[in-house]
Amino acid sequence: MNFEQSKLLDTLPKQFFANLVAKVNKKVGEGVDVINLGQGNPDKPTPAYIFKSAQKWVADPQTHKYSLFRGLPAFKEAAANFYQEKYGADFDPEKEVAILGGSKIGLVELPWALMNPGDTFLLPDPGYPDYLSGAALGEVNFETVPLLAENNFLPDLEAIPEEMAQRAKFFYLNYPNNPTGAVDTPEFYRKLVAWAKKYHVGIISDFAYGAIGFDGQAPVSFMETPGAKDVGIEFYTFSKMFNMAGWRIAFAVGNADIIEALNLIQDHLFVSLFPALQAAAIDALTLPQRDEAITEIVGRYEERRNAFINAAEKIGWHAFTPQGTFYAWMPVPKGYTSESFADLLLDKAGVAVAPGNGFGKHGEGYVRIGLLIEPARLTEAVKRGTVPCQVYTLNNKN
């Protein structure tokens, strides 16, 4: 028998990264040694103290039962304590913390929980492509807000049309930013809180790269801002902070109404996370090895950033120097689109990058570089791309 998928599934956006993976796999199948800079998947293992903790908890029969629906109280308390310690923000563990099987789940399910069909939310452009999945599944509308180089890839709140601001119910933001590597500022967040209160718009801060800041500067949490909890929430994931992408562990903190809605929809979709993983997450946040592990991970990405940026500068390929995340946002040559330049690098140099147009209209003209391989390999990628990038330099002189 044949079964047709629902009309709702027909509205889902095409998975951007699936096309990229297919192109890379085709080249690899042809025997090409592809240097893959298109990925966003940490390449190093989870710190030893965390997986040893997980091994211990997995062996404990008490963790083999269903979790409490809304997660272990001790995990929620650990998350709240972490935010108080790191950002000076106080949260009620029961009312202002939600446990998630990865932050993507929370970001995508939020429109189901807090919006009605036909409502509107604002999305950054360029931005994380899976935000669009939440719009489709929630049957809600979205408008995009441009992130431009001349504004350091921060949204210009004053440029958002009055009518759009009046219609918006939520505004998704992501700093440190994927794909640009830009970071926020306390001043911007103070303006954002005032703007949100003026228009009654909920702020959804996707703090996925919250641990990864460079040049001695720790990223700013939206929740550090006075009044932030009144207007929004923040998602925090273990994926990047602890190289735990495959573990699918995250939490959200903030406004009690938004947190309750997320918890309620999850009551119907999940029975929280495997208790052993929650116990390991508690240890990840609380054991004394935590800060050393984070420092090592951030230092590795900063070394890679510097190696790539310095090598690119030598051939005249100038980056928007990232202050956070593990990405570099690079302009494409005149005469090329993001897609055609990415194809050129893959076909002629065996280097895979993510075309910027996959992150939105205002991503056109850029490619995203994932700093997820060792410095020597990053330098080799730049050398392989010398001929395509010489085209870039020549065109920019004309």
CATH of the domain at 234: 3.40.640.10
**Domain end residue (candidates: 253, 272, 288):** 288
pLDDT single digits (tens) 98-107: 999 999 999 9
- Residue 78's identity, in one-letter code, is A
Q: How far is CA 90 from the centre of its chain?
A: 24
Within this chain, do residues 282 and 272 fall inside the same structural domain, yes or no?
A: yes
For residue 141, count other CB atoms closer than 10 A to its CB. Answer: 15
Instruction: Tell me if 239 is assigned to some domain.
Output: yes
Are 80 and 274 within 8 A, CB to CB?
A: no
Question: 54-63 contacts: CB < 8 A, separation 24 or more?
Answer: 54/276, 54/277, 54/280, 57/275, 57/276, 57/277, 57/279, 57/280, 58/276, 60/276, 60/279, 62/275, 63/274, 63/275, 63/276, 63/279
pLDDT for the residue 18: 80
Within this chain, do residues 105 and 21 fall inside the same structural domain, yes or no?
A: no
Q: Which helix (H) or strand (E) holds 306?
A: helix 290-314
Instruction: Tell me if 259 is assigned to some domain.
Output: yes
DSSP string, 8-31: HHHTSPP-HHHHHHHHHHHHHHTT
Q: How far, in Å, CA of 205 to CA of 222, rounded?
A: 7
Instruction: Tell me if 6 is assigned to some domain.
Output: no
Within this chain, do residues 253 and 347 fall inside the same structural domain, yes or no?
A: no
Cβ neighbours of residue 290 closer than 8 Å, sequence gap 6 or more? 284
Instruction: Tell me if 395 is assigned to some domain.
Output: no
pLDDT for the residue 392: 52
Instruction: Tell me if 396 is assigned to some domain.
Output: no
CB neighbour class for 191 (10 Å; exposed up to 12, middle 13-18, buried from 19):
middle
Which CATH number goes with the domain that contains 382? 3.90.1150.10
Within this chain, do residues 308 and 238 fall inside the same structural domain, yes or no?
A: no
Q: How far, in Å, CA of 133 to CA of 313, rounded?
A: 37
Within this chain, do residues 79 and 152 fall inside the same structural domain, yes or no?
A: yes
Are 277 and 74 within 8 A, CB to CB?
A: no
Confidence band, pLDDT 50/70/90 cuts, at residue 396 = low
Within this chain, do residues 374 and 337 fall inside the same structural domain, yes or no?
A: yes
pLDDT at 397 over 70: no
Confidence band, pLDDT 50/70/90 cuts, at residue 388 = low
In the three-class reduction of DSSP (H, G, I as helix; E, B as strand; rest coil), residue 197 is classed as helix
pLDDT single digits (tens) 252-266: 999 999 999 999 999
Question: 395-398 contacts: CB < 8 A, separation 24 or more?
Answer: 395/333, 395/334, 395/335, 396/316, 396/333, 396/334, 398/334
- Residue 71's identity, in one-letter code, is G
Instruction: Tell me if 80 is assigned to some domain.
Output: yes
**Domain end residue (candidates: 288, 315, 339):** 288
Within this chain, do residues 216 and 314 fall inside the same structural domain, yes or no?
A: no
Instruction: Tell me if 392 is assigned to some domain.
Output: no
In the three-class reduction of DSSP (H, G, I as helix; E, B as strand; rest coil), residue 346 is classed as helix
Range of the domain at 270: 48-288
pLDDT single digits (tens) 269-319: 998 999 999 999 999 999 999 999 999 999 999 999 999 999 999 998 988
Confidence band, pLDDT 50/70/90 cuts, at residue 225 = very high
Within this chain, do residues 284 and 297 fall inside the same structural domain, yes or no?
A: no
Average pLDDT over residues 112-131: 96
- Residue 186's identity, in one-letter code, is P
Q: How far, in Å, CA of 193 to CA of 222, rounded?
A: 9
pLDDT at 237 over 60: yes
Are 154 and 184 within 8 A, CB to CB?
A: yes
pLDDT at 395 over 80: no
Within this chain, do residues 187 and 78 fall inside the same structural domain, yes or no?
A: yes
pLDDT at 3 over 60: yes
Averaged pLDDT of the chain: 94
Structural domain total, the chain: 2
**Domain end residue (candidates: 262, 288, 314):** 288
Lowest mean pLDDT among 25-29, 82-86, 113-117, 193-197: 25-29
Q: How far, in Å, CA of 83 to CA of 91, rounded?
A: 8
Of 283, 266, 208, 284, the closest CA to residue 67 belongs to 266
Confidence band, pLDDT 50/70/90 cuts, at residue 398 = very low
Confidence band, pLDDT 50/70/90 cuts, at residue 386 = confident
Q: How far, in Å, CA of 220 to CA of 207, rounded?
A: 9
Within this chain, do residues 295 and 278 fall inside the same structural domain, yes or no?
A: no
Within this chain, do residues 279 and 297 fall inside the same structural domain, yes or no?
A: no
pLDDT single digits (tens) 307-327: 999 999 999 898 889 999 999
